[in-house]
Amino acid sequence: MNKIKVLLADDHPVVMGGFAMALAGFGVEVVGQVRTPAEAVEAYQALVPDVAILDMRFGEQMTAWMRRAGSWPYPPKRTSSS
């Protein structure tokens, strides 16, 4: 069975590290960890993950970078517990 490939994007290394450890416990492969919207777009295009987990606070910056890069291949899904 193929592992799910995940890209993590957050400007807090501790948060990314926690996500990476938790996901590894479920057999998920973290293929990249980046700290800025620009890095997220570049990594997404280079690594082609199945899922990208992005810091919601990237908001407007992420939208601008997605437009410049030609967008993500799929519409983004926003999930929040609040």
Q: What is the pLDDT of residues 49-73, one digit of tens each?
A: 988 888 877 766 666 666 666 555 5
Question: Tokens at residue 38, please?
Answer: 């620009």
Structural domains present in the chain? 5-69 (3.40.50.2300)
63 Cβ contact partners less than 8 Å away, ≥ 6 residues apart: none
Phi, psi angle pair for 25, to nearest 5°: -65, -20
**pLDDT value at residue 81:** 44
**Region of residue 5 (left: phi > 0; alpha: psi -120 to 50; beta: else):** beta
Average pLDDT over residues 9-38: 93
- Which residues pair with residue 51 across a beta bridge? 6
